Amino acid sequence: MTDKNTQKTKIFDDKIKALIADYQKLKEDNRLLRRQADAAKNDCKIAHKEFVDLQKEYQHFRMAASLSGSSNAEKTEMRAAIEKLVRETDTCLKLLNN
């Protein structure tokens, strides 16, 4: 009976050691996956910043293109609109100063 108990204890100990080894492996895998997730988050943040910068650049490009116009009539119209805005701004500033 002692041999049976010793054998059962040995089997139990082997199973516990296997569980501990599996736990350590899963723990290391989890650590690796967390590092990969953090790296992916950082890549996503960088890509988002680049995207926002490109959107701003595109808006500036569109504004420059619209201001430059493709014909003299469009250029004249845009200049007139800008001059009108400048006059309105000047009028507002004069009113504020009084």
Question: Residue 40 burial by CB count (10 A; 0-12/13-18/19+): exposed, middle or buried?
Answer: exposed
Stronger pLDDT, 1 or 87, i.e. the higher one = 87
Q: Considering only CA atoms, which of 33, 63, 39, 34 is closest in space to residue 47?
A: 39
pTM exceeds 0.75: no
| CA–CA dist 14, 82 (Å, integer) | 84
Cβ–Cβ under 8 Å, residues 72 and 60: no
Is residue 83 classed as helix, strand or coil in its secondary structure? helix
Is residue 70 classed as helix, strand or coil in its secondary structure? coil
pLDDT band at 72 (very low <50, low <70, confident <90, very high): confident
